Structure 1
Amino acid sequence: MISEYVVLCLAGFLAGLIDAVVGGGGLIQTPALFAVFPNITPATLLGTNKLASIWGTAAAAFSYAKKVKISWSTAAPAAAAAFVFSFLGAYLVTRIPPDFLRRLLPFILIAVAVYTLKKKDLGTVHQPAFTGNKEKALAGITGGSIGFYDGFFGPGTGSFLVFFFVRLFGFDFLHASAAAKVVNVSCNLAALLWFWHSGHMIWQLGAAMAVCNIGGSLIGSRLAIRYGSGFVRKLFLLVVSALIFKTGFDAFFR
């Protein structure tokens, strides 16, 4: 049991580090949980994953807030909508299997990667594109859509948030990652409340992984702040590439 906790705590640390910069920590943490405990109910492992990741995401958001000016006029309405629609997505997934999304996702991620590669200047300059009610409305639509996706299916949520904050709102990659953490906390909280209510959680393991996730998140956010948008962009493309291979394998070879 001790060796299993050590493996999962290490996975939590690495997931926190990657997730703090560009999202995608679930690529590491979730498969590790399923590999170590293959006989435990998936819902319980997902609930434990959320318990660990929400603390790391919150720590990253706090770390960004101290050094990077978060655009709350965009992040706050996006986070509020994400919370509500993440609940709706979680409810719907109990009624409709997300198989169509499983097969579509690799192609969506390929389009994101190709677009980012072609647009060399994408996310290099922080120049918010909207203000006022238009900004709030678009933020609500974006946050609600991504929140619903996170509750219904989930893989790559953090990376999608970063991309949309860059592409739609004119943020650079560093500011986009900071805003994405705020929205991600909201998504995770909605899911966590659902899993807590239904009793799907291993509290001791989740708490231990949360400590390591926080450590990784603090290091990851400091690396992003120190090395800037260029570093975040490169890691974003690396994580999206890994997501393409992972989701493609899951969709077509399992």
Structure 2
Amino acid sequence: MIGVMTGANSLITIPVMLQFGIHPGVAVATNMLALTFMSVGGALPFVGKGVFDRRRLPLFVLLTLLSSAIGAYLVTLIPAEAMSFLIAFFMLGVATFVVLNRRAGVTPRQKVGFGAAFAGYLLTFLLGVYGGFFSGGYVTMLTTTFVALFGMTFLQAIATTKIINFFSSLVATGVYVWAELIDWPLGVALSVTMFVGAAIGGKLALKFDNNVVRQVFLVVVVALAVKTLVFDLDWDMLARLVQTALGTA
């Protein structure tokens, strides 16, 4: 329910699966299947409400289809511990942006310069690679990109990212099906619960103005960043990764 407004569902679901002894690759793949259905459930309440950015959506989807396939292919190549560290600091950066820019995401910006648009599309592609790989915090960072660079309100960004996340998750899920990484009984259970929760969350988001959505977004992003740094991150493993990288350099 909360994830519709903030993203970052995977920062909760994947660590929980790992705590129950599920293989990291299987956890990521099974979560991606559920995110596909969550995106559908989260998008449905916004249909017909005029909040999607229909003009930019086709290019967003095209960039996401390509980049998510790349990200899913890379899922076994990048250490998850390093990604968790980066995610936490990215999310703290997101929170800092929201605090310092009080009007961002509250009122739409009518004119978007070429430089901002180019940076926004480039980040959409790069984040799509990450979204296909892991997805934890992907929608959060994508929402912030749309607010900061395309001048969308939070509700516009939330609605638009649900469509994009559907395509991102769908492509990545296809790769994981091919790789036989999905735990289907668990995946079906997660898909049903995420679909229902997202549908409820989308309806709640429409009842709030952008100021309230901004506050919810900020509180949850900070909480998840702290959770990732304090509870989820293996600092010893991260230190070994840094030592290995420095030794290689």
Query: Which bin holds the TM-score, normalised by the shorter protein?
Result: 0.7 to 0.9
- Summarize the Cα distance change of 1:135–1:182 in structure 2 as closer, same or farther, 3 Å threshold: farther
> What is residue 175 of structure 1 aligned with on the other side?
156
Aligned counterparts of 1:226 and 1:50: Cα–Cα separation in 2: 28
> What is residue 10 of structure 2 aligned with on the other side?
26
> What is residue 218 of structure 2 aligned with on the other side?
237
> What is residue 51 of structure 1 aligned with on the other side?
33
TM-score, normalising length: structure 2: 0.84
- Summarize the Cα distance change of 1:98–1:188 in structure 2 as closer, same or farther, 3 Å threshold: same
Q: Does 1:114 align with 2:102?
A: no
Q: Does 1:125 align with 2:107?
A: yes
The 8 Å contact of residues 127 and 142 in structure 2, kept in 1 or not, is answered as: yes
Aligned counterparts of 2:154 and 2:16: Cα–Cα separation in 1: 28
Show the 5 A alignment for 1:187-202: 187-202=168-183
- Summarize the Cα distance change of 1:104–1:47 in structure 2 as closer, same or farther, 3 Å threshold: closer
Aligned counterparts of 2:33 and 2:75: Cα–Cα separation in 1: 20
- Summarize the Cα distance change of 1:197–1:252 in structure 2 as closer, same or farther, 3 Å threshold: closer
**Structure 2 stretches lacking a partner, 5+ long:** 237-249
> What is residue 48 of structure 2 aligned with on the other side?
66
User: Counterpart of 2:104 in 1: which secondary structure?
Assistant: coil
Greater shift after overlay, 217-226 or 200-209?
200-209
Aligned counterparts of 2:121 and 2:7: Cα–Cα separation in 1: 20
- Once the two structures are superposed, residues 97-155 of structure 1 have per-residue CA deviations (whole angstroms, 9 ceiling, x without a partner) of 36554433333322221221122111111234339x98975554232111012234432
AA partner of residue 185 (structure 2)? Q
How far has the Cα of 1:54 moved from its partner?
1.0
How far has the Cα of 1:218 moved from its partner?
0.9
TM-score, normalising length: structure 1: 0.82
Aligned counterparts of 2:166 and 2:193: Cα–Cα separation in 1: 17
How far has the Cα of 1:172 moved from its partner?
0.7
AA partner of residue 151 (structure 1)? G
Aligned counterparts of 1:219 and 1:155: Cα–Cα separation in 2: 21
Aligned counterparts of 1:202 and 1:93: Cα–Cα separation in 2: 16
How far has the Cα of 1:96 moved from its partner?
4.1
AA partner of residue 26 (structure 1)? S
- Once the two structures are superposed, residues 171-202 of structure 1 have per-residue CA deviations (whole angstroms, 9 ceiling, x without a partner) of 11111111111111121112101111111112
Greater shift after overlay, 237-246 or 122-131?
122-131
AA partner of residue 88 (structure 2)? P
Question: Please, what is the CA RMSD of the aligned residues?
Answer: 2.4
The 8 Å contact of residues 156 and 243 in structure 1, kept in 2 or not, is answered as: no
- Summarize the Cα distance change of 1:27–1:68 in structure 2 as closer, same or farther, 3 Å threshold: farther
- Once the two structures are superposed, residues 191-234 of structure 1 have per-residue CA deviations (whole angstroms, 9 ceiling, x without a partner) of 10111111111222211221211111111001111112122111
Aligned counterparts of 1:128 and 1:184: Cα–Cα separation in 2: 25
User: Counterpart of 1:66 in 2: which secondary structure?
Assistant: coil
- Structure 1 segments of 4 or more deviating over 4 A? 98-101, 133-139
* Percentage of identical aligned residues: 29
